[in-house]
Structure 1
Amino acid sequence: MQSRNPVESIVYWTLALTWAFYALGALYVVGPVLAWCLGGIAVLSLYLGPALRVDLRPAGAIPWIVWLWCAGMAVMLIALWAGHLDWGLGMGQTIKSSIGWAKGWAMIPLLMVAGAALQIRREVLIRGQNVVGLVTLILLPMLLVAPSIGLPEKIFLSPLKVVGGPGPEYFTVYLYTIDPGSGASRWQFYAPWSPFAGLLGVVMIAFALEDKSRRWMLAGVIAGLAMIFLSKSRMSLVALVVCTVTPRMMPLMLRGFAWQMAAGVAASMAVLGTAVLQTVTDGIAAFKGARADSTRVRETLQRIAYERWQTESVWFGHGTVQPGPHLVEFMPIGSHHTWYGLLFVKGIVGFFALAVPMAVHFWLIAVDSVRHPRGRLPLALMLAMFILTFGENIEIEVYLLWPAFLLLGIHAREMAAEARKSVSASVQPQTG
């Protein structure tokens, strides 16, 4: 993949060297540094404009949907400050939490601004992800045999942990982990834990399916499948189907026969509805029962977070996560679920600060995916991130999801450019 400008080179090599950064325990540092650097370059490009060389000039004005994300994440910071003030958490904790915001929520608008303003092609991200997939396949035999030959689970804790983060697992290099419930081996690849690795596998497949080279596509798809199945994540299995099938079904909404088939299916539910409902119910029960202890802990955490949000701090939340009781194995209240976590930590204000831009952006991408193939990848990524919010705190995982958010900014730029062309085409005949 040849880069057309220095920014593309930075993006491509940062992504391609993912495993090298992981081996150094540096991924949690690299993600925020990259986001803030790209955001700074984007602002500089917008400010200087024609004074820069051609390949570094702005690719266009910032689309309004990106500004909506900027506003939402700014509100998130305000909610954080208000929560800390309400609970008297002190200046030191407020500064620490604000730095956490800069390494989490702030990265989302920064990456989108960079994707919208800078001349970065989506092909660079697609090929970069497939390079990560190829390296994953090369390392896979070693990862698979590690438990059998007695290699340790944890091999390295990076000294970079001194920069601070949610926990030591973000700076630790693992070959594999042991599931405490079943005693079986699980692999988390370059993620801090296995379920997140499964979702990263879904993201990798979504990118790989857009590569024009069949060999690179196969490398990305096979690596993504390995990450999904070896992580043993139930959520990623659901996401695999939803994120690969749904975007490719969207264009059918413009076809008459698709609506006729949908009407036929709807009519058949009058006869088959009860059996289908029972099958779905049984499937959900089996899904939850696959790792019953994990499901119990998650549901209990969510219930505690919701009840304490309702009774203690509705508007701005508690400001930070809090240690949970023995009932939830001391897991922090406000973790393991983005939406319950937002209610608990940042209240209803923080909840809508994410929900509004995500819902509006999801709608724009869904509409574009009906009309244009360019919407398939953004829709797959948005679906993956939406599913992720129901099992993880997306805020602390943006550092690995940065290619997805960067591509959403690129897609927003593409839609805005097409809208400008349409306006110009409609005005030209009148002026002529």
Structure 2
Amino acid sequence: MAQTIFNRLTAEEQLVFYGLAMSYPVYLLGGLYVLGSVIGWAILAVFALKVYLLGRQKFPINPLLLVSPVVWLWILAMLVMLVALISAHIDRQLGTGSTIKSSIGWAKGWALLALFPLLGSMISIRPQVLVRGVCIAAASAIPFGLLGVLAYIGGLHGDLFVSPLKAIGGPEEVFIIRLFGMNPETGMARWQFIGPWAPAAGLLSCIYLVLCLQETDSRWRALGVTGALTMCLLSQSRAGWAIFMAIVPIMIALGSLRHPLAWIGLGITLPALILLGEPVYQWVMESYTQVKESRPGSTRVRGTLARLALQRWENEAPIWGHGVVERGPKIVEHMPIGTHHSWYGLLFVKGIVGMFALALPLAFTTLHLLFAAQKSKTALTALGICVIMISYSFFENLEILAYVYWPALLWIGISLKPATPEKTTLRGNL
């Protein structure tokens, strides 16, 4: 990538690039949750000010008219999330203070799932700027992970401090700054990097992988991929390991559907799977059981949380949900009900309305990108991101982690722009 690109960054691109490049320094200062939550709104404010000051001289067409209908669907769906939140608070009489607090939480979580695709679709942010920033962030995991390994070997405590920014509100874990954490089941260290907990680092490693593969500079691409691999391995996330290994082959397969050889291969594979269906099924189920039994305590807690969320949603608040997560009983180690799973969490907190408010835009976006990915490398990468989000939605709450994987949301918005000549063929590193 020509160095001149970084000598003429727009104000919006500077926020994106330096927001990513400074991820670890900001994390070590305790401000990453704040940065990730407000950077999207800051980019929107800068762009709105630019439109206001320059007017039709610079923007002859209203930028909102260029926004993809898929992005408008996300905006509508996330507004429905806010309606569900307010309705649940009114229905369960949670009070004005709780409603205001939860609405601010919506702006720092669910709203970002619409905000960043809007910014990517509406503002001219060059993909290569985003990719280079991601490569720097991913590569920074290498020295950070090494420092954590040395601290663990030296017998030092992994927790550094609790950020005073905790006063602004949010999950407690996002303000605890750690070199590494401890697995309570094994007593061994596991690394969360800039995530609030280790499985979040697994999610981030998968997203970093697909974005770093788009880097044209071989040195930065290698550093970025190595950093993503480091995050995946040290996070010890079972879901992260599985998705990390599978995502590139999945993307290659999904991006090759227009080629006759792909359909020939599918025609050969399907009969083989039918003939080998029983042994393949048994192998998959046995492997799945072994993965679950590798951390039985975590599996038990997650399963119990899921049952509690479903039972209470169905019996107490099927339409709008409970409005907030609730502290669980001792049987789930007091883990909050409505966490560890996007869909069960949505049913518990925002009811059936909230569940469809995520399911519909995510499904339509994935389907749209599946068609676009046959001609566009950018869309193929965005499709891979959607696959990762869908996969991880069964293990994490997507809205809580939006402050760390916002580059992926921004890339989805970029991919939803009208096709340009340089985006019409599949080529490059994937």
Aligned to 1:425: none
- Establish whether residue 114 from structure 1 lines up as the match of residue 119 from structure 2: yes
For 2:62 and 2:141, the matched residues in 1 are separated by 35
Task: Quote the residue 1:340 is aligned against.
Answer: 344
CA-CA distance at 1:50 after TM superposition:
3.9
- Larger CA deviation: 48-57 vs 320-329: 48-57
Tell me, in whole angstroms, the C-alpha distance in 2 between the residues paired with 1:57 and 1:211.
32
Which residue is equivalent to 1:402?
406
Structure 2 distance, partners of 1:130, 1:329, is: 37
Partner Cα separation in structure 1 for residue 357 and residue 29 of structure 2 = 35
Q: Aligned partners of 1:270, 1:153: CA distance in 2, in Å?
A: 50
Q: Does 1:73 align with 2:78?
A: yes
Which residue in 2 is equivalent to 1:22? 27
Change (3 A) 1:396 1:251: closer
Identify the residue that residue 206 of structure 1 maps to in structure 2: 210
Aligned twin of 2:254: 250
Q: Corresponding residue for 2:137?
A: 132
Distance 1:55 1:220, change over 3 A: farther
**1:174 maps to what in 2?**
178
**1:374 positional shift:** 2.1
Decide whether aligned partners of structure 1 residues 144 and 155 sit closer, same or farther in structure 2, where only a CA change above 3 A counts.
same
Counterpart for residue 152 of structure 1: 157
| Residue-by-residue CA offset, 1:246-285 (whole Å, 9 max, x unaligned) | 1122232122222222222222234322111111111111
Which residue of the partner structure matches residue 394 of structure 2? 390
Instruction: For residue 45 of structure 1, report the CA deviation from its aligned partner.
Output: 5.0
Q: Say which of 355, 362, 368 aligns to 2:372.
A: 368
Alpha carbons of structure 1 residues 223 and 216: separation in structure 2 relative to 1, 3 Å: same
Match of 2:37 among 22, 32, 46: 32
Picking from 93, 99, 105, the partner of 2:98 is 93
Q: 192, 205, 222: which one pairs with 2:226? A: 222
Deviation digits for residues 188-225 of structure 1, max 9, x if unmatched? 11111101001111111111111011111110111101
Task: Give the equivalent residue in structure 2 for 1:275.
Answer: 279
Which residue identity does 2:412 align to in structure 1?
Answer: L
Distance 2:57 2:185 in 1: 57
Mapped to 2, the partners of 1:269 and 1:377 lie a distance apart of 28
CA distance in structure 2 between the aligned counterparts of 1:213 and 1:172, rounded to whole angstroms:
35
Shift of 1:234: 0.4
Q: Is the 8 A contact 1:305 1:344 kept in 2?
A: yes
The answer for the alignment partner of 2:170 in structure 1 is: 165
User: Secondary structure in 2 aligned to 1:367?
Assistant: helix
Tell me the equivalent position of 1:424. none
> For residue 111 of structure 1, what is the amino acid of its counterpart?
F
Task: Looking at secondary structure, tell me which structure has more helix per residue.
Answer: 1
Q: 1:223 to 1:229 in 2, by over 3 A?
A: same
Q: Distance in 1 between matches of 2:385 and 2:194?
A: 19
Equivalent position of 2:428 in the other structure: none
SS of the residue corresponding to residue 390 of structure 1 reads coil
Contact 1:247 1:379 in 2 (8 A): yes
Q: Is the 8 A contact 2:113 2:399 kept in 1?
A: no
**Corresponding position of 1:299:** 303
Which residue number in structure 1 is paired with residue 235 of structure 2? Answer: 231
| Comparing 233-242 and 78-87, the one that deviates more | 233-242
CA contact (8 A) 2:144 2:193 kept: no
Structure 2 residue aligned with 1:353 = 357
Deviations 1:12-54 (A, max 9, x none): 0011000011011101101121111122334445566644657
C-alpha contact 1:4 1:55 (8 A) present in aligned 2: no
Alpha carbons 2:11, 2:46 under 8 Å: kept: no
In the aligned structure 2, how far is the partner of 1:284 from the partner of 1:103? 34
* Distance in structure 2 (CA, Å) of the matches to 1:251 and 1:244: 10
- Change in 2 beyond 3 A, CA 1:119/1:70: same
The 5 Å alignment of 1:323-338 reads 323-338=327-342
Q: Is the alpha carbon distance of 1:55 and 1:389 closer, same or farther for their aligned partners in structure 2, counting shifts above 3 Å?
A: farther
Bigger shift: 289-298 or 37-46? 37-46
Comparing 332-341 with 131-140, greater Cα deviation is found at: 131-140
Give distance in 1, aligned partners of 2:186 and 2:144.
25
Q: Could you state the TM-score of these two structures normalised by the residue count of structure 1?
A: 0.92
Q: Which runs of 5+ in 1 are unaligned?
A: 422-432
Q: Is the alpha carbon distance of 1:130 and 1:60 closer, same or farther for their aligned partners in structure 2, counting shifts above 3 Å?
A: farther
Specify every segment of 5 or more residues in structure 2 that has no aligned partner in the other structure, as ranges: 425-430
Say which of 12, 18, 24 aligns to 1:13.
Answer: 18
Per the alignment, residue 260 of structure 1 pairs with 264
8 Å contact kept, 1:35–1:107: yes
SS in 1 for 2:337: coil
The two structures, once aligned, show a CA RMSD in angstroms of: 2.1
Q: Is the 8 A contact 2:12 2:47 kept in 1?
A: no
Per the alignment, residue 87 of structure 2 pairs with 82
Tell me the distance in 2 between the aligned counterparts of 1:258 and 1:62: 33
Residues 419-430 of structure 1: pairs in structure 2 closer than 5 A: none
Can you list the C-alpha shifts for 1:171-195, whole angstroms capped at 9, x where unaligned? 1210111111001111111111101
